[in-house]
Copies of this chain bind each other. A is one copy, B any other.
Amino acid sequence: MITIMEIQKAHERIIPFIHRTPIFTNKSLNQESGADLYFKCENFQKAGSFKIRGATNAVMLLSDDELCRGVVTASSGNHGAALAMAVTSRSGSVQVVMPINTPQIKVENVIRNGGEIIWCDPNIKSREKVLKKIIDKTGSILIHPYNDRNIIVGQGTAAKEFVEDVPNLDIIVSPVSGGGLLSGTLIYSKEINSKVFVYGAEPEEANDAFRSLKHGSIQLNKTTDTICDGLRAQLGDLNFSIIKEKVDEIITVSEKEIINAMRMVWERMKIIVEPSCAITLGAILKRKDEIKGKKIGLILSGGNVDLSRLPWRES
């Protein structure tokens, strides 16, 4: 069982290497939703997303010997860049196995942060094969993007800052993909305030967490045909065990609702967020009756968007 004390210690450990990201509010979106919305802006985080929290925590906990062997991960996105930043800041070397259809901006972020990219085909089989080959050959340490205790503990530090900066939230909404951020958020925020509701927001088109919760056991994604390139991963078993126990609900959101919410955040708040976190706004806008007058925290988890491929047409 992960305790909040572990999250507190992780926070102390990673503070020198991360930003304490600001909380934004927006009058116009408060009017739109009928609630008091607080946005935790992890899109302004180092390497452009919350992933640096877990990655830094996991890398800081490696021994020098382990670090010398090299670090490897599989990531189609922000975890790869974050891990590269964390490992190179300890002067280690890191290989990131990425599917060949990864958005260009996420490829560049890995390279800019000193990671080496090893390509795989965009399916689990190819990824696992490439990963295994690297590990067998080099003995590198695998740091999984979410199904890893140290990662979950690190991601929980976002919720720690959030509830310190905005006490008495009624509801917290986190995106859910593999489940690292949601499970860390659940552990911290439910322990601090047992009355807080915590929701996961998930694309209808990659709804494995929603179905897993319903069935009581992990279900595979049937499709991952969503604009949320950060939310296509398969729920991890460590993550699921926490989510199953603690989450209040997984709210699924359609592609149209996600894109609408993303455009609202861009136009009203003047900040760039990924569809993978605009989904949190999309989720609560489906529940206007329930959220009326409530104090709601939304985790804007990242801001790495390919600006040449936006989901709205030229007018």
Residues of A whose CB lies within 8 Å of any CB of B are 22, 43-44, 48, 104-105, 263, 266-267, 269-273, 303, 306-310, 312-315
Contacts and interface: CB of A to CB of B under 8 A. Distances in A.
B303 A308 contact: no
A22 B270 CA distance: 13
B270 A307 contact: no
A267 B112 CA distance: 13
A266 B307 contact: yes
A267 B22 CA distance: 18
Given A105-B267, A272-B266, A315-B104, A307 B309 contact: no
19 contacts: A22-B22, A43-B270, A44-B269, A104-B315, A266-B307, A270-B271, A270-B272, A270-B273, A270-B303, A271-B271, A271-B272, A272-B272, A307-B310, A307-B312, A308-B312, A308-B314, A308-B315, A309-B315, A310-B310
A191 B48 CA distance: 39
A121 to B, nearest CB: 22
Contacts of A104: 315
A231 to B, nearest CB: 19
A131 B55 CA distance: 60
A263 B272 CA distance: 12
A273 B310 CA distance: 16
Contact of A263 (B273, B307, B314): B307
Contact of A267 (B267, B307, B315): B307
A105 B267 CA distance: 9
Nearest to A112: B28
A270 B44 contact: yes
A310 B266 CA distance: 13
The 10 nearest A-B residue pairs measured at CB: A270-B303, A308-B315, A270-B272, A43-B270, A271-B271, A308-B314, A308-B312, A44-B270, A266-B272, A266-B307
A313 B308 contact: yes
Contacts of A266: 272, 307
A308 B315 CA distance: 6
Nearest to A306: B315
Contacts of A267: 105, 307
Nearest to A274: B270
Contacts of A272: 266, 270-272
B303 A309 contact: no
A266 B272 CA distance: 7
Contacts of A306: 315
A24 to B, nearest CB: 8
A280 B307 CA distance: 21
Contacts of A263: 307
Contacts of A314: 308-309
Nearest to A43: B270
Contacts of A313: 308
Given A48-B270, A263-B307, A309-B315, 12 more contacts: A22-B22, A43-B270, A44-B270, A266-B307, A267-B307, A270-B271, A270-B272, A307-B312, A308-B312, A308-B314, A309-B314, A310-B310
